[in-house]
Every structure is written in C-alpha cells, then in structure tokens.
Amino acid sequence: MQGLPHDYTATASSTAESLVTASVEGQPDLTLAPPSGFGGPGDIHSPEDLQVAAVASCFILSFKAIARASKLEWESLQVSVSGTLDQVERAIQFTGFTTHARLTLPAESSRDKAERLLEKAEQSCFITNSLRAASALEIELEGGQ
C-alpha cells in the first residue's frame, strides 16, 4: 500500500434533459439516474446503488487483506448490503446498513477464526467508517445575471 493520504477524483455531468454521466480517469463512464423511489426509471444505477455497492465491495476487499495477513484459507465470499435511506432533521441520509456475509471455508479452516476476521473486516471498512465524513462545496457559475 502507498502511504496515506490517498486522493481520488470523479466527475459527473448532465444536461437539463439527460441522465448523469460519472467519470473516473482511465475507467469506463457510468450512466446514473435517480432510483425509482425518486421518480427514476429503476433500471439504471443510481448514486444510492453505488453507495451500498461501495460498502459491499469495501467489506470484501477488507476481508481479503485481513484473511491474507492472517493466513486464513477460504473459498468464496458473497456479501449483500441493504441500506436504509430516511429523513433525519430535514435531511435525507442513509441511516443504517446491514451487511450479510456468506463465507465458504475449506474443511481445514477454523470457523471461529473466520468469524473474528469477518467482524474485523466490518470494523475496518473505510467506506463505512467514512460515511459521516466532512464535506465542502466549491461553486463556479457561468452565465446568468
């Protein structure tokens, strides 16, 4: 791992009538729309989808690193994350995430050790740990009066 801090940049763009295109340099663009609960089509990824997918994938990547360092032999890991979006004091936000992890172990692996490492992965996931991170807005206006 490279030393911290790490910086990441993404861009998003849209016209008044188009879907959102999100971009990260060197990677394929993503097309995004509101989820069906906010009047979107429901068949295109939404920022909410990406948030729960980020939690799920971060959990798996954290577990892989921890299992490798702890020399735990394992075969497969399937993770399902559900997030609850609700209104809290006039702001809509995710109020909770539930992660369901299904780990398949070879016969010789310790179930107790695997459970401890899964719990450690949940505590170590920096995406989940960052959900109340500080936010700043920089504004640049073009046109208008």
The pLDDT value recorded for residue 126 is 92
Q: Give tens-digit pLDDT for 46-72.
A: 999 999 999 999 999 999 999 999 999
The pLDDT value recorded for residue 79 is 95
The pLDDT value recorded for residue 60 is 97
Sheet holding 20-23, edge to edge: 11-13, 20-23, 30-32
Give the separation between CA 13 and CA 19, rounded to whole angstroms: 9
> Do 68 and 77 form a contact (C-beta atoms < 8 A)?
no
* pTM assigned to the model: 0.90
The pLDDT value recorded for residue 57 is 97
Whole-angstrom distance between the N-terminal and C-terminal Cα of the chain? 49
Give the separation between CA 131 and CA 55, rounded to whole angstroms: 10
Q: Does domain 46-129 have CATH number 3.30.300.20?
A: yes
Contacts of 71-76 with CB under 8 Å at 24 or more apart are 72/109, 72/110, 72/113, 72/114, 72/117, 73/105, 73/106, 73/108, 73/109, 74/103, 74/104, 74/105, 74/106, 74/109, 74/114, 75/104, 75/105, 75/106, 76/103, 76/104
Q: What residues contact residue 103 under an 8 Å CB cut-off, 6+ apart?
A: 74, 76, 77, 114, 118
Q: Give tens-digit pLDDT for 83-115.
A: 999 999 999 999 999 999 999 999 999 999 999
Structure tokens at 36: 């069906």
Q: Give tens-digit pLDDT for 8-46.
A: 999 999 999 999 999 999 999 999 999 999 999 999 999
Domain ranges in the chain? Answer: 46-129
